[in-house]
Amino acid sequence: MKEMVVYGLMTSILLLGMASADQSENDLMPVNLLINVDMVESPTQEQVFEAEGNLLNLMHELQNKKLKATFSSPYDVIATRIRLRITEAGRDPNFELAMSGNSSHEKLSMKSYAEQESILSRSKEATENARVCGTNEIVAYGFMPQSFDQNQDTYKVLDELGIQYDAGFQAGLLYETGHKNDTWPYQVEGYNFYAVPVSTYILSDKRVPLQDKYFQENGLTSSQWSDALEDKFLEAKETGGPVVIALTTSVSGNGDYLDALKEFLEFAVSKDASFVTTLDLVNMSREEGYAPKANVKGGCATCGQKGEEEGSIDVGISTIQSNNTTEAIAADSNSSSMN
């Protein structure tokens, strides 16, 4: 009898602990970092190294804090030595890789349907090829258009490619009809994918996207950016919405903007933020753990092997062994020739 009483007490304590943990998890504030890996057009060798350093700065900051994030990169970035760092990011279970078109400065809305189909198909394959043979698999579930530029043809191609979400929206600024006030992902009517609204912020009576590039290009200081991040977090914590922040490696990967981001990460963690990938956020919005099985075309970016289907691409990366992969990636990156 005594043993049964003790067992009952232990079970009650365990159940209370689990309930407390569930409550704590539900109280966490979701924060999604959408990081666009960018680079100047026709970069010099020095500019490529600089872009690589910016990406590494952000990766290491997040890895040191064990925070989740989503990285998107256009084809012209993946086709350089930076592909090795993107492959490294793809091996981290806290990071999600999404596709992002062909180049850092493209305007999809100015392209024909056929051109967009070609661009986005190649971008998806290149992203999914950023893996280590025999070690991991990458599935591009999401899409982040450059400069938030897209149109209905883009939507059609995304559905054809089986893309699950499109982050080319801004809460209250760029939205589908009837979704002006939505801050959580929502399904786009007539399509299978979800729209993910980047958070917006009221600055001097004007609503602006919570995007580092916007702040920098409009002459706003890193201090103003830092204030916007913290203010938006506190506002969302009150209203119950997520915070979706659009970052760019060329802006937040170095200097004062990187310092501002570091301060925000410390602040958000201290306030019980729950850092999630964009796919996590979409799954939260539909209240299920949906993750469709991959139908990966193409081969492996790190071994140059093509897949079984025609049309797969080879981005020309030398073989990286699965053992000591991080060290191998770093060594290969230092010795890679420039494209």
> Quick one: pLDDT at residue 287?
74
Report d(CA 91, CA 104) in Å as an integer: 24
Residue 22: pLDDT over 70: no
Q: Which pLDDT tens digit goes with each residue over 51-104?
A: 999 999 999 999 999 999 999 999 999 999 999 999 999 999 999 999 999 998
Report d(CA 73, CA 97) in Å as an integer: 8
> Quick one: pLDDT at residue 321?
32
Residue 23: pLDDT over 50: no
Contact between 250 and 262 under an 8 Å Cβ cutoff? The reply is no
- Greater pLDDT, 124 or 297: 124
User: pTM of the predicted model, to two decimals?
Assistant: 0.80
The three-state DSSP-derived secondary structure of 23-74 is HHHHHCEEEEEEEECCCCCCCCHHHHHHHHHHHHHHHHHHHHHCCCEEEEEC
What sign does the dihedral 19-20-21-26 (CA atoms) show?
positive
Q: In CATH terms, is domain 28-335 a member of 3.30.1490.480?
A: no
- Greater pLDDT, 318 or 45: 45
Q: What is the DSSP string of 221-268?
A: -HHHHHHHHHHHHHHHHHHT--EEEEEEHHHHTSHHHHHHHHHHHHHH
Residue 324: pLDDT over 70: no
Residue 161: pLDDT over 60: yes
| Mean per-residue pLDDT, 215-243 | 96
- 135: pLDDT confidence band, cut at 50, 70 and 90? confident
> Quick one: pLDDT at residue 83?
93
Residue 325: pLDDT over 70: no
Q: Which residues, at least 6 apart from 183, have a Cβ–Cβ distance to it below 8 Å?
A: 171, 197, 199, 236, 239, 241, 242, 244
> Quick one: pLDDT at residue 28?
76
> Quick one: pLDDT at residue 286?
85
Q: Which pLDDT tens digit goes with each residue over 200-209?
A: 999 999 999 9
Query: How big is the CA angle at 141 (ends 158 and 263), to the nearest 5 degrees?
Result: 120
For 232, the token pair is 């938006």
**163: alpha, beta or left? (left if phi > 0; alpha if psi -120 to 50):** beta
Taking the domains of the chain in order of start, what are their residue ranges? 28-335
Report the chain's mean pLDDT, rounded to a whole number. Answer: 82
What percentage of the chain has pLDDT greater than the value 90? Answer: 72
> Quick one: pLDDT at residue 150?
97
> Quick one: pLDDT at residue 105?
86
> Quick one: pLDDT at residue 326?
38
| Mean per-residue pLDDT, 119-146 | 93
- 231: pLDDT confidence band, cut at 50, 70 and 90? very high
- Greater pLDDT, 326 or 51: 51
> Quick one: pLDDT at residue 2?
41
Q: Of 172, 174, 260, whose CA–CA distance to 222 is shortest?
A: 260
Query: What 3-state DSSP class applies to 184?
Result: coil
Q: Which pLDDT tens digit goes with each residue over 213-223?
A: 999 999 999 99
